[in-house]
Amino acid sequence: MEKLAKLSYDGKSVEFPLVEGTENELGIDIKTLRAATNLITLDPGFKNTGSCQSAITFLNGEKGVLRYRGYDIEDLANNADFLEVAYLLIFGELPTQEQLDKFLVDIKEESFIDEDLKKILESFPSSAHPMGVLSSLTSALTAFNPKTVDIEDEEQLYRAIVRIMGKLPVLVAWVYRKKSGLPLKYGDYALGYVENIARMMFRKPNKEYVANHIVDQALNKLLILHAEHEQNCSTSTVRVVGSSHAGLFASVAAGISALWGPLHGGANQAVVEMLEDIRQDGGDINKYMKKAKDKSDPFRLMGFGHRVYKNFDPRARIIKKSANEVLEDLGIVDPVLDIAKKLEEAALSDPYFVERKLYPNVDFYSGIIYRAMGISTETFTVMFALGRLPGWIAQWREMRLNKEPIGRPRQIYVGKNQRPFVPLNKR
C-alpha cells in the first residue's frame, strides 16, 4: 500500500506520497504542494529538505556509516586507489583493470594547462588566498575549453570529465608552488594519479625527487575520504549551478568557492590555527580543556564533534592511523603536532567529551597530516577541493543525466508592502 503523509491546514487536508530510499529512508514528496495548496515550505539551511534523489553516497551519522555507491568507506580507503574511487563515484561501478588503465591514460593526456593560464596565475599577488586563486583559475579554464557538453553524447561527457580530472591537479600543484615560491612544473607521465600529484607538489628545484610511499599512501587516503559527502554546501552549489546547464568547469569553480568558507572546507585550517594559538600561549592543554568545557566561554576544541556524525566519524578512524605513520616516518619534531597528540589523549579520556560523544573528526587529523607534509595552512582547503572533485563531477553528471529542473527555491517575503515612490528632493 502506498505510504502517505497528510497535511491539514485551514480546515483542508492534502495527502502526499512518501518516497523510500534503498536504505529505507523516508521523505515526503511535496512536488505538488504549491500547485495543490498555494503553500510553500520554509526551511532555512535546507536541514529538512531533500533536494534530489541520489544513488552516489549513503551516510548515516548516528551509526557512523559512509558508503560510496554501496561500498564502505573503510574498504575503499584501505584497499583502493583514489582514481578507482573517482571512477566508482562518477560512473557507478568499480573499474576493471582495463577501464582504470584507460581512465588514467586519458586523464594524463589532458594533464597540461594552456601556457596563457600561467600568466593569470603569475599576476596574482603572493598574498592571495590559494582557494581564491584556484577558483579563479578553474573559472579561467572555461575560456580555454569553451565547448559546453552535450549531455546526450557519452563521449563528450567523458572527455569533459577526464579533462578536468587531468587539469585540476596541475592547478592545485601550481597554486601550492606559487604560494611556496617554487617554479611551476609538470608531473611525470609514467606515474599514477596520486603519486604524480605528490611529485608535482613536493619536487624541489635543487634536488632529485624521491617518492615517499607513506606520504603517497596518506595522500591517497585523504583524497578518498574527502571525495564525496552527499548534498553538502559545495556539492549542492555544483548541482544548482549545473542545473542552469552551466558547464562542468564553471560548476566546479563555484563548488570551490563554496568549499572555501570556514564553516565548510576551512575546518582543518581552524584546527591547526587553534593548535598554534595554544602553543603561543604556552602550550597548557589543561587550560584549553577547561575553556572548552566552560559554558560561559565561546571556545570550542576545533576538530572535535561533528554535525552529522554523532557517535564517531568513520573517516577519522581511518586517517588517525595514517597521521601516526606519517609523523613517525617523516620524523617530524613540531611542538604544534605534540600539542595535537596531547589534546587528543586528554579529550578521549575526559568525561565531558566522552559523555557527549565528541571525538576527533576527519579534519583534526587531515590538518595534522597536511602540516607534517609541509603544506601551508591556507592551502589545506585546496587539497580538500582536489579530493572532492570526483564527488562534484559525479553529482553534476547525475543531476544532468536525471534531467533535473533548474534549482530555484522560493521565499516568504517579509519586506515592505507596496508604497508610493518619493522623489529625491522630498526624502
CA distances from 382 to 5, 89, 205, 268 (A): 43, 20, 22, 11
Of residues 299-328, those binding ligand ACO (CB under 6 A): 300-307
- Closer CB to ligand ACO, 241 or 270, in the complex: 270
**Binders in 214-273 for ligand ACO, by CB under 6 A:** 267
Question: In the bound complex, what is the minimum distance in angstroms from residue 364's beta carbon to ligand ACO?
Answer: 7
Q: How far is the CB of 391 from ligand ACO (least distance, A)?
A: 13
DSSP secondary structure, 51-86, as one string? ----SSEEEETTTTEEEETTEEHHHHHHH--HHHHH
Exposure of 382 by Cβ count < 10 A (0-12 exposed, 13-18 middle, 19+ buried)? buried
Q: Is 363 in the site for ligand ACO (CB under 6 A)?
A: yes
Q: Which among 21, 51, 50, 77 has a CA at the least distance from the CA of 227?
A: 77
- Options 3, 43, 356, 401; binder of ligand ACO; rule CB under 6 A: 356
* Cβ at position 322, least distance to ligand ACO in Å: 17
Q: How far apart are CA 233 and CA 220, in angstroms?
A: 24
**77 or 160: CB nearest ligand ACO:** 77
Please give the size of the binding site for ligand ACO, defined by CB under 6 A: 14
- List the grid coordinates of 167: 587539469
- Residue nearer to ligand ACO on the CB measure, 12 or 307: 307
d(CA 408, CA 308): 26
CB 310 to ligand ACO: min, Å: 7
Nearest residue to the partner ligand ACO, using Cβ: 305
Amino acid at 142: T
Cα→Cα distances 135→123, 260, 262, Å: 15, 9, 16
Could you give the string, one character per residue 271-300, with x where binding to ligand ACO holds by CB under 6 A and - elsewhere? Answer: ---------------------x-------x
Shortest Å, Cβ 136 to ligand ACO: 24
Q: Provide the annotated active-site residues.
A: 306, 363
Distance CA 376, CA 71 (A): 33
- Give 307 or 410: the residue with its C-beta nearer to ligand ACO: 307
Between 175 and 316, name the residue whose CB sits nearer to ligand ACO.
Answer: 316
Give the H or E element holding residue 162.
helix 154-179
User: Residues in the site for ligand ACO, rule: CB under 6 A?
Assistant: 267, 292, 300-307, 356, 358, 361, 363
